[in-house]
Amino acid sequence: MPHPDLDLFGINSEFPPKTSIPLFREKLATLSRVATPAVQMKVTEQFVCHLLDLFGNVLDYIDVLEQDVFDLKVVLSTTVQHSTVIENDLSCQTEQMSNKSQKFEFIVNSSVDWMALVNRGYLYEAANESMAAIFGKTVDQLLGRSVEKTWGTDFFISHIRGSIDSCFEGHEIQEHLLCQLPRQPERWCEFTYTPYRNAANEITHVACIARDISARRRAENLLREHTLYLDKVNDAIIVIGLDQKVYYWNKSAERIYGWKREHVIDKKRVDTIIPSPEKLEFILNAVKESGEWRGEMVHISKSRKEIAVDSNWMVINSRENERFIVITNTDITEKKLLEQQFLRIQRMEGIGSVASGIAHDLNNVLSALFMSIRLLKPKCTDDKSVQILDLLDNSAKRGVNLVRQILEFARGIDGNELVIPIPKVLTEIQEFLKSTFPTEISVSCQLPVDLWQVVGNPTQLHQVILNLCVNSKDAMTSGGTLFLAAENVVVREKRRQGTSQGIPNGNYVRLVVRDTGIGISKSVLAKIFDPFFTTKEKGKGTGLGLSTVQTIVKNHGGFMEVKSRLNRGAEFMIYLPASPQVVGGSGADEQLNFTAMRLGQWRGA
């Protein structure tokens, strides 16, 4: 309990634990005011004890305050440390942002593009040095100026204002314009307008970027002129990188290889047209070492057709020090075919030059043989002798036939031209083949009602068809089907097989002889019309049949086509010019009688 004497002065010796510092200061001040009078009044010992208790409570409270102050110092110290770290981080981030800002400002000012930020009043609020330089001003002088005054009223109204207004509506604009700056030559510029949005996603400014593309336009025009020139040359011009990727493909390359430019550039590699990886690797190594390679090679087209080319490879360096390879390919496929045909013609001429001499020698030999047979037949009447003489007579006749074929091939074939009723000829040949060919081979014939007429030598035409049919029979060793047909065709812009040489336009009658035999390989197909070339066994073929057939067809003004694949049969097509008019009626009857006679002779042989 507090001392009553102290209560007289309004002093309470007890202090609640949570007494606030202002209240505590007030109580101490009160105590100091009353302490002196209390001492002067010679208070009792009990009063002194209470006073000492009071000061003891004060000291205890001070201890509590010291602990609170210490805790407060710890908290303040920790806060200061955190504040220092935060301040250092902020300082570091500020410095980084300042460095980034300086770098960004350096990059923007170093750009050759003209950059500016325009507000809704068409005033510059930011710009780089390139933008200011084209108007002959500094950046500070340009800021706040009107776009209209810098670019000129006409150009601003015609182009810039509409683009900026559209950009404020949320559109991005890019356009190429021909600009006329004050006291400067005309130049082509590429303008780009991009909306600038604030944190609230509101469009407040437009970023305007202009780029001088005059040099690029000149280069594009020059390249366009060169492209037009390169597209007109007959050679395929291809540009590839060292990674074999195609970067250029002219029109002649499209024509030769069959791939369109847009399907090749940046999409295909040059190994698409070169079938041999070893050859390609050899060429690339040679080009990298010496800078150039030239030679003949075989390429593959889109349709998998082989193309012979005279190829020239050359390394070039671009302005950016990139290395490219320019390939110039000349299509020499037709040249190679013509060379082969020329060599074949030379061989044929050589054979023709000696054919007459061979024929005379053979005639002398055969004449003696025929005379001997005629002299011996009356004297040799027994069966065995007659059989031997018949064998000699047949062999001599085959020799005569061989001599005749050689002379026809060497000298060309002449004969009377008659109207040939092809349907009757093919029908008679069909019936004849059915009675003479093995039963395993079926013979069919297809003929139109309104077949055009052909004028020619009936004997020679019979020889052509019969020769092809016999070859088909030999190709069907295990049986099959022989198909004969004739049809009217109109030729327009047709080319000879394997060459670019054209066929005369006009009306033709096409005769077809097709079989299901063993077929003809691609390597053999190019040689089947060579004289004395045969795939038959020794003693079973002279190699003059197809060469004679071709000679007869050419002498009639026609041409031949052959289609064949191994184990898929062969198809021979003979094109004979259709006759514009009928040449006499008696010739047709004569031809039919002669055809029947020839069939009988062939059957007897």
Give the integer Cα–Cα distance in Å for 211 and 206: 16
Judge whether residue 200 has pLDDT over 80.
yes
Shared domain check, 341 and 327? no
Which DSSP string corresponds to 245-270? BEEEE-HHHHHHH---GGGTTTT-BG
Q: What is the pLDDT of residue 421?
A: 80
Average pLDDT score, the chain: 77
Pair 125, 68 in one domain: no
Maximum pairwise Cα distance, the chain: 200
**Distance (Å, rounded) from C-alpha 285 to C-alpha 505?**
49
Helix axes 586-604, 422-436, angle to 10 degrees: 10
Which tokens in the block code for residue 306? 């082989």
Q: Are residues 540 and 421 in the same domain?
A: yes
Sequential DSSP letters for 282-305: HHHHHHHHHSEEEEEEEEE-TT--
Choose among 528, 467, 519: nearest CA to 497: 528
The residue that leads in pLDDT, 576 or 218, is: 576
Give yes or no: residues 302 and 386 share one domain: no
pLDDT at res. 124: 92
Q: Residues 441, 490: one domain?
A: yes
In a domain, 103, yes or no: no
Say whether both 423 and 564 belong to one domain.
yes
Q: What is the pLDDT of residue 34?
A: 61
Angstrom CA distances, 481 to 440, 562, 574, stand at 8, 18, 19
380-420 confidence digits (pLDDT tens): 878 888 888 887 887 777 677 667 666 665 555 555 567 88
One domain for residues 180 and 311: no
CATH code of residue 297: 3.30.450.20
Same domain (yes/no): 321, 182? no
pLDDT tens profile 484-505: 999 999 887 665 554 445 677 7
pLDDT value at 297 more than 70: yes
- The two tokens of residue 533 are 């070339």
Q: How confident is the model at residue 603 (pLDDT cuts 50, 70, 90)?
A: very low
> Is the pLDDT at 531 greater than 80, yes or no?
no
Token pair recorded at residue 118: 């325009």
Give the chain's domain count.
Answer: 5
Per-residue pLDDT at 602 exceeds 90: no
For residue 557, what is the domain's CATH number?
A: 3.30.565.10
Q: Which two tokens stand for residue 20?
A: 């606030």
- Calculate mean pLDDT across residues 83-101: 76
Residue 152 has pLDDT above 80, yes or no: yes
Residues 456, 590, single domain; the answer is: yes
Which of these ranges, 129-133, 153-157, 351-355, 592-596, has the smallest mean pLDDT? Answer: 592-596
* For residues 352-357, average pLDDT: 66
Whether 293 is in a domain gets the answer: yes
pTM score: 0.39
419 and 397 part of one domain: no
**What is the predicted pLDDT for the residue at 436?**
77
Query: What's the average model confidence in pLDDT over 17-46?
Result: 59
My answer on whether 378 and 498 are in the same domain is no
Q: Is residue 594 part of a domain?
A: yes
Is 442 within the bounds of a domain?
A: yes
- Structural domain boundaries, residue 22: 4-81
Last residue of some domain: 217, 244, 276? 217
Helices (H), 43-127: 45-110
In a shared domain, residues 136 and 250: no
Once rounded to an integer, what is the mean pLDDT over residues 211-227? 72
**Amino acid at site 177:** L
Residue 389 resides in a domain: yes
* pLDDT tens for each residue of 285-296: 998 888 899 999
Lowest-pLDDT range, 8-12, 219-223, 224-228, 371-375? 8-12
Domain final residue, candidates 170, 187, 217: 217
Residue 88 covered by a domain: no
Name residue 456's beta-bridge partners.
418
**Residue 274 lies inside a defined structural domain of this protein:** yes
- Give domain status of residue 264, yes or no: yes
Is residue 26 very low, low, confident or very high in pLDDT (cuts 50, 70, 90)? low
Please say which residue of 277, 297, 331 terminates a domain: 331
